[in-house]
Structure 1
Amino acid sequence: MRFLLLLRRLRSLCIKELLIILKDPANRLVLIVPVVIQSFIFGYAATYDLNFVPYVVCDQSRSPLSRDLIARLDGSEKFSRQATLDSTAEAEKWIYDGKALLAVQIGSDFADKLLSGQSADIQVILDGRNSTTASIAQGYLAQIVEGWNAARGIKSPVSIVMRAWFNPQLETRWNIMPGMLASLSIIQIMLLAALSVAREREQGTFDQMLVTPLSPWEILIGKAIPPIVVGLAQAAFILVICVLWFHIPFAGSYVDLFVALGVFTLSCAGLGLCVSAISLSMQQALVYCFVTLLPMILLSGLATPVSAMPKALQIATCANPLRFALVCVRSIYLEGSTLADVAQNFVPMLAVAAVTLPLAGWLFRNRLS
């Protein structure tokens, strides 16, 4: 009987919180518009795809074979020849000034070697200041050269074999957009959870809530559930955008995906409630949230692989639930992994929830006393 009474009180509190969130037109605007805008911004703008490769060429062979290969580069959609040089020494200034991403040098014995059945080398000088674009450009060039070899029936003694699992076209959107399921969810959940108590204090309804039969723990649970529900609903909305608009194929199980997201949202709610418990105003809650969220997103592996970070930062990411949520979401979405495959990532997320939720309860109880 007492348990049923507890459930009724929690239900009433959750309904109140959801009504507060959804009845305010400004809140509805904040819940919908940023998700749509950020989804499209990250889907279109946050991409590592290289669509324009300015290059210079030094053709010392000046043979029909070398001109045919250069024509293959010029005829591609991505490569754009900026200049034809007499020596590779001239390429230094083009690359240094950023006017060319790479320089291609074809030796004077290029045609003679190919006609005699030998392999011929092509020197490629890359602008390594941006290693990502340089690697991508190098890959594009290798594909064109291999295609030229195949068209002429030439077998290169050094061949490049590349396979792209889970993303055959190497579209970075396939990597970023599934990550938005977790990244945008943590923003909304933490903001809603952090502002819940601060809003009550500023609106003067916090004291009224204290005289109700609800215990601090019941208030805490009632404040945690609505942000989690909203976060999961937004993740579902982003999932629809990924599948139906951007046509990113979903390889896993929707149940597994939302189980993983559910575990993740527990830790997000715990972090948000900790911020809510220590904040005296909505302004303080917003500042604390953004101070916390920015490092979490930067250290999550959303844009930069965690393995590429300094060792100290790699250790720091172990306390970041977003890092492990991204691994789960991308594995389930792109690779078709099951819960058993990603279960080890639940441990740090549950550990964060196990620390932050009791801590929020302790802080909340002490602020009430």
Structure 2
Amino acid sequence: MNYARIKALVIKELLAVLRDRKSRVVLILPPILQLTIFAFAATLEVKNIELALLDKDGGKAAVELAQRFRGSPSFTKVFPLRGQEDVAPTLEDEKAMAVLVIDQNFSRDVAAGRPAEVQFLLDGRRSNAAQIVQGYAQRIVEQYNRDLVARYNLPPPPATLVARNWFNPNLDYLWFTVPNLIGMLTMVVGLIVTALSVARERELGTFDQLLVSPLSPGEILAGKTLPAMILGVVESVLIVAVAILAFGIPCQGSLWVLALSMVLYLFSVVGFGLFISSLCNTQQQAILGTFTFMMPATLLSGFATPIETMPKLLQIVSLANPLRHFLVAVRGIMLKGMPLLTVLDTIWPLLVIAVATLALAGWFFRKGLG
């Protein structure tokens, strides 16, 4: 393998990308813009909840409970209902996410020390949001119960659950979302740069010149891989810097361990990109192939839903997804301070994925030479 020829091809690939002003802009601005938008948009948190209130009691205890819901930052709009007949239309017409119904004997039961009940109705069409809102309401009622126990010297509940959140004490959803976006946006850059490289050569007619040049298939493969790795590393460093400095995401672990994980991850992503590129004749086909791969890769990464809840077959398929392994590593390094040995135990499949995809891409290159 002639390293001088590889160096010349790497320089040629970098110049092809960096000399074009539009390419420079596309490489830098969109990932940062996407990180900013997705960090706030791609969230499972439920905020600005509209709550309808039907208070049949009107007593002191009922008013206090209603005021606690009004004072919660989660329930930004609490409006009253006139009667029971308004409950169903409110949920059916999506005027409110939930309806709180306080029974007419609520204050009397609280004063007498008897169990008092309230009804909390949720719109089950949005099941995930409904479960989260139910959790908000349970916390408000639990705190209300503790205050009643202290106020009226009532016997405490037989058991209480005290929750302590490790690695994200305030349950800030950005701490979960932004590390995931680091992996997703790095994959976008790595895939697009590599997927377009060979397709661009074929579309411009310069791929035939590569085939008749002294370059071997391995040298062509290396010359296409290294520029994408260089650009991907620079882009990933920029994304991580924005995540830490602009969004305040902590990095409890070593930045060197994070860098090692990023390089292995980019190696596997570039392998997929070159494999896609070797199958495409035009840049349009390469872009379509990239997005065809990215959608399943995102869904099977554990970003939106836990992998453990997926069918067994999909759990096995997800093992070939580099994003799945990297997300575990980047979250562990940034939030938990995961040590090197534990990280290596998580990311070693990335090396297997990279070798397999690069071998397939090399086989297609050799087939093209034949």
What is the TM-score of this pair, normalised by structure 1? 0.90
Please give the alpha-carbon distance, in whole angstroms, between the structure 2 residues aligned to 1:252 and 1:129: 41
Counterpart of 1:44, as a letter, is F
1:84 aligned residue: 81
Counterpart mapping for 1:337-352 below 5 A: 337-352=338-353
Worse overlay, 251-260 or 51-60: 51-60
Counterpart of 1:50, as a letter, is V
Please give the alpha-carbon distance, in whole angstroms, between the structure 1 residues aligned to 2:267 and 2:104: 65
1:111 aligned residue: 107
Stretches of structure 2 that go unaligned for 5 or more consecutive residues are none
Contact 1:181 1:239 in 2 (8 A): yes
Please give the alpha-carbon distance, in whole angstroms, between the structure 1 residues aligned to 2:193 and 2:204: 16
Deviations along 1:278-327, one digit per CA (max 9) or x if unpaired, are 22222222222222222212222222222333443333222211111111
Please give the alpha-carbon distance, in whole angstroms, between the structure 2 residues aligned to 1:128 and 1:307: 24
Worse overlay, 145-154 or 257-266: 145-154
Counterpart mapping for 1:141-220 below 5 A: 141-152=137-148, 153=150, 155-157=156-158, 159-220=160-221
Contact 1:264 1:321 in 2 (8 A): yes
Contact 1:49 1:171 in 2 (8 A): no
Please give the alpha-carbon distance, in whole angstroms, between the structure 2 residues aligned to 1:323 and 1:350: 13
Using the TM superposition, give the Cα deviation of residue 156 of structure 1 relative to its aligned residue in structure 2, in angstroms. 4.6
Contact 1:182 1:322 in 2 (8 A): yes
1:309 aligned residue: 310
The answer as to 2:94 corresponding to 1:98 is: yes
Contact 2:81 2:87 in 1 (8 A): no
Deviations along 1:228-267, one digit per CA (max 9) or x if unpaired, are 1211221111111111111122222111112112111111
Counterpart mapping for 1:1-369 below 5 A: 6-79=2-75, 80-87=77-84, 90-152=86-148, 153=150, 155-157=156-158, 159-369=160-370
Change (3 A) 1:314 1:128: farther
Change (3 A) 1:40 1:358: same
Deviations along 1:110-162, one digit per CA (max 9) or x if unpaired, are 33343344443433222222222122212222332334345552545564533
Deviations along 1:301-357, one digit per CA (max 9) or x if unpaired, are 222222333443333222211111111111111222123223333243222212111
Please give the alpha-carbon distance, in whole angstroms, between the structure 2 residues aligned to 1:255 and 1:127: 47
Following TM superposition, the consecutive aligned residue runs of length 4 or more in structure 1 with deviations greater than 6 angstroms are none
Please give the alpha-carbon distance, in whole angstroms, between the structure 2 residues aligned to 1:137 and 1:9: 61
Give the fraction of aligned pairs with identical amino acids, expressed as a percent.
Answer: 39
Using the TM superposition, give the Cα deviation of residue 70 of structure 1 relative to its aligned residue in structure 2, in angstroms. 0.5
Using the TM superposition, give the Cα deviation of residue 90 of structure 1 relative to its aligned residue in structure 2, in angstroms. 4.5
Contact 1:54 1:102 in 2 (8 A): yes
Contact 1:324 1:345 in 2 (8 A): yes
Counterpart of 1:81, as a letter, is V
Using the TM superposition, give the Cα deviation of residue 213 of structure 1 relative to its aligned residue in structure 2, in angstroms. 3.0
Please give the alpha-carbon distance, in whole angstroms, between the structure 2 residues aligned to 1:114 and 1:73: 18
Counterpart of 1:19, as a letter, is L
In structure 2, the residue corresponding to 1:77 is in which secondary structure? Answer: coil
Worse overlay, 202-211 or 221-230: 202-211
Superposition RMSD in Å:
2.2
Contact 2:39 2:181 in 1 (8 A): no
Please give the alpha-carbon distance, in whole angstroms, between the structure 2 residues aligned to 1:302 and 1:75: 32
In structure 2, the residue corresponding to 1:105 is in which secondary structure? Answer: strand
Please give the alpha-carbon distance, in whole angstroms, between the structure 2 residues aligned to 1:170 and 1:97: 32
What is the TM-score of this pair, normalised by structure 2? 0.90
